Structure 1
Amino acid sequence: MKLYIGMKFFGHDTNVVVICPEKNYIFAISTERVTRYKHDTIYPIKILENIFEYTKLEKSLIKNIVFCLAEKDYAKKLNFSNWYEYETALREFYNLKYKGELVRKHNSFKLLSLDEQELIYNQSYAGKKLFEIKKSQQKNAVTISEEVSKYINKIFDLSLNEIEYFDHHKSHALGSFVLSPYEHAIAITFDGAGDGYFSKVFLCSKDKFEYKVGSKRKNFYLDDIDCGNSLGNIYEYFTLKLGFHRFSEEGKVEALAAYGNFDNEIFYKLKECLLFDRSNLTLDIDQKLLYKYFNKLAFDDYLIKFSKVDIAAAVQKFLEISIVNYISSIVKKYKIKNIVLSGGVFANVIVNMRIFEEVTNNIYIIPAMSDDGLGLGSICLKLLEETKLEENISWIRKYNTQYLGTSYSKEEIISVLKNTANIFYKDLGKDWMKKTAEYIHNDEVGAIFHGKMEWGPRALGNRSILGNPLNKNSINKLNVEVKNRPFYQPFCPSIMIDERERLFENSYINKDMTCAFIMKEEFIDKIPCAVHIDNTARVQFVTHESNPNYYKILSEFKNLTGYGVLLNTSFNKHGRTIIESPQDAIDDFLDTGLNFLMIEGIEVRKLKSEN
């Protein structure tokens, strides 16, 4: 039996995807779900070491493994040798469970003198180990391919295997087309950077996958930040300047923008910086103007002159109109209305809504739109090399690719519960869905854990926190007692597919929560928690076929309230990743103000303190 393992091995959002065509089987997981370090950059070694435990595939039946990586420049030298050993030792040294805690501790540590640092290193075995690795690291010592082979060779028998490397944007594009409902489409990618480009365009069909045009990424520094000429990187730069974490909190800028007014000089100066070559369909940025308008001193002045909401609105509107105009030109040139989108920029649901409303109704955004989708795309490129695309992967389109992650048996869950203090639990059997709806109707906030974990950044009802969207107090409770999030971040609704046309004038069946839609005015006051300040809702439409248990909860809630709508946010404490395991579920349940947890039909509650 032949196995294909696709990977993002380097950089943010490392991940692993496994495809076994002979069994029509797919498994996918991001490293961050295992380590609980958001957008983790560490090599996905832990996943690879446990891949047969995760997939439950019989190792003895595997005769050949093809490793596929979205790293075209595999001969490129890495900055440092022994990077994985260093990063692992760093985490052992600080012994902190979550990324935010480690970053804060490490930043404080770096303020110490070198002598003070060495003294602290020598106080523990982990510190001594970290210090020795730091001393032994060499710059530009190994290539990407040498580093990958080194670790794969430790885990797998390479005599039976092969390693293949593919283009970053090709991997994005083909993965999105394969999962789309279209027989032919334009695939468009947009991200910060990848293999020398920040955007590419492909024409896709059953018979061909053809590269048409791309926008090259150029290095360019603003305030010591490599901003480049990429629209995605510019948005990241604004994220940082507004006081958020670059590479992870761009969604906060998008949310904040709805409160502001884009009509200011920042917006018009950004527009002035954009260079759109309409004849060649390429994008670029005038770097001299960008530096002139947005260097450190200039931006500091903007932060005094304008509110943060208006700055956010300016960069958000700039991103929207730039991408809408660009995609409109592409659709007009190639005369194809079906478009499939991938790359981190398309995590912006308002951008996607503008494309849907202003360019074409035939739109598909891959659930794992960021680099966590590269593993699947790189495997598809390998399958395309081996045979006709349709012959080898037609079955993938029928697969429920919303949920490709880990799952746990009731026995495994009970084992964790038995070893947890300060809780009580009972197995509700098939009644758990009805009970969940009743508890939420009574304004409790709870979490659900069942089936396979979601693939991509959204919680889609299998690792979710749920609340009552009809009660305005639900948002305050979620923000203050559970998620500890700022007020301006919207919570998203999961909605029965039966309610789509009733609640929205203009929408499409989006089951992945990758696009926003404007709710009909008559329902905004009735379902206040389901919409943002601009009356948009980032919706997950739920069908019985895609998630029967979750559909049942929505159906029961509709019986109680008249609305098949639930408030849905990811199951995690703020600053942590979405939970992966039963132990993660218990940890975050106990660390937040959640009223209850439903985990594979078992209701879990906290024992009340005698105090």
Structure 2
Amino acid sequence: MARKIVLGINGAHDAAACIVVDGELVVAVPEERLSRVKYHEGYPFKAVDYCLRVAGLRSLGEVDSVVINRYTHNDYEPEIRRSGFDGELVINPSHHLLHAYYAWVASDFRRPAVLVLDGSGYNYGEYERRGSPLIGPPPQYSEMEEAESMYAVGEDGSLELVRKKWGLWDSMKPFMRFPSLGHMFSAASQYIFGHFQHAGKTMGLAPYGDASAFPEPFIEYDGDDLVFDTTWVTKLPPRSDLPAHLDPICRNLAAKVQEELEPAVIHLCKVIHEATGSEELALSGGVGLNSVANGLILRQTPFSKLFVTPASGDSGIAIGAALYGYHRLTGDRPRWRAYDNYHGQKYDDRDVADAVAGAADFVRAESVPRVVEAAVADLVDGKFVGWFEGASEFGPRALGHRSIICDPRPGDMRDRLNARVKFREPFRPYAASVLAEHVKEYFDVAADDPFMMTVAPLLPQQIEVIRSVCHVDDTCRIQTVDPEHQGLYRRLIEHFHEVTGVPMVLNTSFNIRGEPIVETPQDAIRCFLSCNLDVLYLNGLRITKLTTGGSGAPATLVPHLVEDVSLAATTESVGGGASVPSYFCRTRTGQRVPVDADEYTLLHLIDAERSIAGIAAALPGRSEAEVVDAVDDLRQRGMVRLARAAVGARERSER
């Protein structure tokens, strides 16, 4: 019997692809992991090719059905047809329905209520002309878009629509104004951080603010319905030039939208519970990434079980599209093969060896017989460790396959990690990966959470024990790690527990500010060389980098600018004359890192040929030791990487 193969595609923001074969998810990947452009928008060419390759398919011609979610003004049918596909192409079934399929199937619940909360889906007229199912009665205007959706599983085992709310846009520019929970949060994130995608930052900033600074409600309640005021953002003063955590308006606005969001989510959970009578809730859509609100659901609603899709944002639409397409094609409910979120490919020893060989002049790799013990020794020694193994996670949470980890006990680890490794704002919190059987010894949790989608309060007596995973409001986002966890990550935490008495590590995604999580071994090494990570464990290899402090002759090392870093200087006109120039280094993600005039001059002398001693000779008045220190500081700030002296000589001989 021929296999049934379905490709699901999200071709909007957070583009992604997924392949389901005979009802089982075989592979899924976000386009951003491959393009290295965060929140990649558009047709996911690289992700589609990746999924075909991992699934063992030669072309789209072997696929039976393609289901694609895309903006209504885009048309990707030519790309799909030119790739050899001649099967059924399903375009824009309900955006919320695809979120719901992912939540329903991945939850593995028997008869869940399914709640979809995000910014918005697409408009009723688009769905009607596509023949989309489960869109309910027509709203007042055909251009109204999905604002929230509720589903249940019927007695025949299929998804049924319980309720759908539609809304009209007030504006998209300069701020998103639409009557939904997601866009309320997006508008605040646009104001505070300059982009609607930064809702996670807004959630992290909220405990630093005072919601009472905005006394008027953004949401009111009319029976079961939420009534949104979308005018509040128009009344805000112009955004100051201060960083968000130093601006009281930004802090207070973050607190306000979080305070409005939490009771609204609880309200809708109670509404869907009353409508369905289910004890199980499956939640998806971008609002599902608000782990603080998620942590309240089992405490404040009648539901006894909760599942939040690990990729609740729109990348998860690709998975929902593939699952929906299979159900549509065969009439059978897809199967969820494993309770995990590792949907990418596994990279073998040859892939790792090639990546290491490509960076051989910058790193040292050694095979260690007891990898777990070596990694724990590094953690206890206060090192920041990159951990790479197995198939990549799908979605925004690193779950031990593409993670940066460190000891959660020292109080300064969070600040150092933000400043020197992740290069992100100082208020940003970190998560903990905790042995599942010990989680209640440290946190007031309502249930296990293997996907790091909920926040829980710390028990008061443990706050000072694990200070670096404790946010300012004494909470922490947690990942419970059970004994069946894939790979060595569980064993690493077990050994850390044996050595320290603490059954957890601080865990954050393996990336730096503005970049997607690493996908390949090459990505991992590149990121490792672009920040102040101390050591990288790559499929069991222990990899270290050259540093001035670790070299017997640091002045002989040859500094290189980190890949895609550029230098710039700006001079403003003041009263008809030029001001003092400002110097900065622009990273590959667009971040501007200020440097002083001496650092700027030094950076301009870095040509991948001169050693530190050679650069010092070109800087009159600066000693070799001073230049060594200056180069090392630039390395720690993510601008410079160091190579052995032979590199420059080889490059000259190749020219």
Structure-1 residue corresponding to 2:559: none
Matched position secondary structure for 1:469: coil
Q: What is the root-mean-square deviation of aligned Cα atoms in Å?
A: 2.3
Structure-1 residue corresponding to 2:297: 355
Q: Deviations over 1:472-520 (max 9, x none)?
A: 1211221121011212110110011121222223331110000111121
Residue 393 (1) aligns with residue 334 (2)? yes
Relative distance call for 1:484 and 1:150 in structure 2 (3 A) is same
Q: Residue 269 of structure 1: which of 216, 231, 252 is its match?
A: 216
Residue 504 (1) aligns with residue 424 (2)? no
Instruction: Trace 1:169-318 onto structure 2 (pairs within 5 A).
Output: 169-195=96-122, 196-205=145-154, 207-221=157-171, 224-242=174-192, 244-264=193-213, 266=214, 268-271=215-218, 274-278=219-223, 281-286=224-229, 290-291=230-231, 293-296=232-235, 306-318=248-260
- Is the contact between residue 3 and residue 62 of structure 1 (CA under 8 Å) also seen in structure 2? no
Instruction: Trace 1:18-29 onto structure 2 (pairs within 5 A).
Output: 18-21=19-22, 24-29=24-29
Q: Residue 151 of structure 1: which of 79, 85, 92 is its match?
A: 79
Deviation at 1:460, TM superposition (A): 0.6
Structure-2 residue corresponding to 1:424: 364
Deviation at 1:165, TM superposition (A): 4.1
Matched position secondary structure for 1:258: helix
Relative distance call for 1:518 and 1:181 in structure 2 (3 A) is farther
Instruction: Trace 1:194-593 onto structure 2 (pairs within 5 A).
Output: 194-195=121-122, 196-205=145-154, 207-221=157-171, 224-242=174-192, 244-264=193-213, 266=214, 268-271=215-218, 274-278=219-223, 281-286=224-229, 290-291=230-231, 293-296=232-235, 306-359=248-301, 360-389=303-332, 392-394=333-335, 396=336, 398-420=337-359, 421-429=361-369, 431-593=370-532
Structure-1 residue corresponding to 2:14: 13
RCO higher in structure (CA 8 A, sep ≥6): 1
- Is the contact between residue 260 and residue 312 of structure 1 (CA under 8 Å) also seen in structure 2? yes
The residue identity in structure 2 corresponding to 1:425 is A
Which of the pair is proportionally richer in helix? 1
Q: Deviations over 1:394-436 (max 9, x none)?
A: 3x1x32441001321111111121121221101225x212211
Matched position secondary structure for 2:163: strand
Relative distance call for 1:59 and 1:350 in structure 2 (3 A) is same
The residue identity in structure 2 corresponding to 1:365 is V
Counterpart CA distance in 2 for 1:310 and 1:446 is 35
Relative distance call for 1:305 and 1:593 in structure 2 (3 A) is closer
Give unmatched runs, 5+ long, in structure 2.
123-144, 549-553, 556-655
Counterpart CA distance in 2 for 1:36 and 1:414 is 22
Counterpart CA distance in 1 for 2:195 and 2:167 is 18
The residue identity in structure 2 corresponding to 1:167 is S
Alignment coverage as a number of residue pairs: 519
Residue 57 (1) aligns with residue 56 (2)? yes
Counterpart CA distance in 2 for 1:313 and 1:469 is 26
TM-score (norm 2): 0.75
Structure-2 residue corresponding to 1:168: 95
The residue identity in structure 2 corresponding to 1:67 is V
Counterpart CA distance in 1 for 2:367 and 2:239 is 57
Counterpart CA distance in 2 for 1:485 and 1:306 is 19
Q: Deviations over 1:577-609 (max 9, x none)?
A: 101111111111001011100000011101234
The residue identity in structure 1 corresponding to 2:99 is H
The residue identity in structure 1 corresponding to 2:464 is D
- Is the contact between residue 176 and residue 186 of structure 2 (CA under 8 Å) also seen in structure 1? no
Deviation at 1:152, TM superposition (A): 1.0
- Is the contact between residue 175 and residue 190 of structure 2 (CA under 8 Å) also seen in structure 1? no
Bigger radius of gyration among the two: 2
Matched position secondary structure for 1:501: helix
- Is the contact between residue 414 and residue 469 of structure 2 (CA under 8 Å) also seen in structure 1? no
Q: Deviations over 1:221-251 (max 9, x none)?
A: 2863231112211211111222x03232111
Relative distance call for 1:153 and 1:336 in structure 2 (3 A) is same
Counterpart CA distance in 1 for 2:59 and 2:191 is 53
Give unmatched runs, 5+ long, in structure 1.
79-143
Counterpart CA distance in 1 for 2:176 and 2:203 is 21
Same amino acid, percent of matched pairs: 23
- Is the contact between residue 432 and residue 469 of structure 2 (CA under 8 Å) also seen in structure 1? yes
